[in-house]
Amino acid sequence: MVTQLHDSSYRGFASDNYAGAHPEVIAAIAEANGGHQVAYGEDVYTARLQEVMKSHFGEQAETFPVFNGTGANVTALTSMLPRWGAVVSARTAHINTDEGGAPERVSGLKLLTVEAPDGKLTPELIDLEAWGWGDEHRAQPLAVSITNTTELGTLYTVDEIRAIADHVHSVGMKLHLDGARISNAAAALGVPLRDFTTDAGVDVLSFGGTKNGVLYGEAVVVLNPGASEGLTYLRKLNMQLASKMRFVSAQLIALLTDDLYLHSAGHANAMAARLRSSLDAAIAAGTISGISFSQPTDANAVFAVLPPGVADTLRESFRFYDWDAAADEVRWMASWDTTEDDIDTFVAAITAELSH
């Protein structure tokens, strides 16, 4: 038996990856345990996951469980592109900033990035890099990757995604959606998952669970069968084929059953909103000064700019990351297990520092 080595009452604001697994997810793993099931995805839980995903994304959806988000993104994009293909994304996209060069080193694809101050692409921004088809000297822009919610915590609406999809498809490109926080997007939009994916024109999706209470595991979900090829082989080639896949699939089934994904993500969004509104109220009341916000709080992320030195003082008690250290910009993340007391304690600490 492993002795607990950490303080299970401690919660910070660095990342929703820091949160533990949801009890219902842990229970699902236990339920899937025992006895033998065929390895590498030929198990009853992975078969059931196919049905569950179809209920959310449509009968054409095909699901490929993988280990992690980077693996999902790289494997998905590799299946969408020829060897000479390139992907247009925001400069802040996770595939560009936080995946260690994996899309380019592992897949060999080229990233064509554009500046998007709010993390969101538009047809006009895409066109800055979507050109040069037929030019043998240029990597061919054949796919676009967007993230919902974005790396800056902002939210694409259904209409915005549909406009991007229509534009992308009109020039023969495909659309990938990085859904690391897709549940937070669904909770914020208040619509079913397929409304801003399948029905909006997304071709291939990376479905995230780890940031929303899953222990480990994500999935590549092909929404347009004609937009992806070779995933059966690419998943293994990219070292993303789990031998005991039933445990990944069982977690995702639990997340997508009885709206657990919505309840958990909605709670995280509400906690971020509580943090933002509490600080906004303190600013309006003149209780604190020197703080500003660099992005809207659309889901479970709060981006703030603090006076010099304040972040380091707060970090003595609460862990969180600098987003842009040169600008004193920080990111605070709420998680599925963040409590109102956690938020109120953090707000009190921030208030104490900014009221000096």
Per-residue pLDDT of the chain (356 residues), as tens digits, is 889 999 999 999 999 999 999 999 999 999 999 999 999 999 999 999 999 999 999 999 999 999 999 999 999 999 999 999 999 999 999 999 999 999 999 999 999 999 999 999 999 999 999 999 999 999 999 999 999 999 999 999 999 999 999 999 999 999 999 999 999 999 999 999 999 999 999 999 999 999 999 999 999 999 999 999 999 999 999 999 999 999 999 999 999 999 999 999 999 999 999 999 999 999 999 999 999 999 999 999 999 999 999 999 999 999 999 999 999 999 999 999 999 999 999 999 999 999 96
Question: Do 61 and 118 belong together in one domain?
Answer: yes
Question: Residue 191 domain-assigned?
Answer: yes
Residue 230 is predicted with a pLDDT of 98
Question: Do 349 and 294 belong together in one domain?
Answer: yes
**Cα 81 to the center of its chain, rounded Å:** 22
Instruction: Output the six-digit token pair for 231.
Output: 């995933």
Question: Residue 334 domain-assigned?
Answer: yes
**DSSP assignment string, 190-215:** TS-GGGGTTTTT--EEEE--GGGT-S
Question: Do 236 and 270 belong together in one domain?
Answer: no
Write b or e for each residue in 334-356: b if 16 or more Cβ atoms lie within 10 A of its Cβ, otherwise e: bbbbbeeebbeebbeebeebbee
Question: Residue 16 domain-assigned?
Answer: no
- Residue 304, SS3? strand
Are the C-beta atoms of 112 and 140 separated by less than 8 Å?
Answer: no
Residue 1 is predicted with a pLDDT of 84
Last residue of a domain, one of 232, 257, 282: 257
Rounded to two decimals, the pTM is 0.97
Question: Do 218 and 308 belong together in one domain?
Answer: no
Are the C-beta atoms of 231 and 223 separated by less than 8 Å?
Answer: no
Instruction: Output the six-digit token pair for 259.
Output: 């709206």
Question: Do 60 and 154 belong together in one domain?
Answer: yes
For residue 236, what are the CA distances in angstroms to 75, 179, 232, 326?
9, 21, 7, 41
- Residue 12, SS3? coil
Are the C-beta atoms of 152 and 301 separated by less than 8 Å?
Answer: yes
For residue 152, what are the CA distances in angstroms to 59, 131, 266?
32, 27, 18
Question: Do 233 and 115 belong together in one domain?
Answer: yes
Please confirm whether the linkage preceding 149 is cis (ω < 30° from 0): yes
Question: Residue 104 domain-assigned?
Answer: yes
- Which residues 6+ apart lie within 8 Å of 82 measured at CB? 140, 142
Last residue of a domain, one of 198, 226, 257: 257
In the chain, beta strands by DSSP E: 62-66, 85-90, 110-114, 140-147, 174-179, 204-207, 218-222, 292-293, 301-305, 321-324, 329-333
Question: Do 227 and 294 belong together in one domain?
Answer: no
Q: How many domains does the chain have?
A: 2
Domain residue limits at 294: 261-354
Dihedral angle sign, alpha carbons of residues 37, 42, 44, 50: positive
Are the C-beta atoms of 96 and 73 separated by less than 8 Å?
Answer: no
Instruction: Give CA–CA dist 2/251, Å, rounded.
Output: 22
Are the C-beta atoms of 338 and 302 separated by less than 8 Å?
Answer: no
Question: Residue 237 domain-assigned?
Answer: yes
Instruction: Output the six-digit token pair for 303.
Output: 């981006």
Last residue of a domain, one of 257, 285, 317: 257
Residue 198 is predicted with a pLDDT of 98
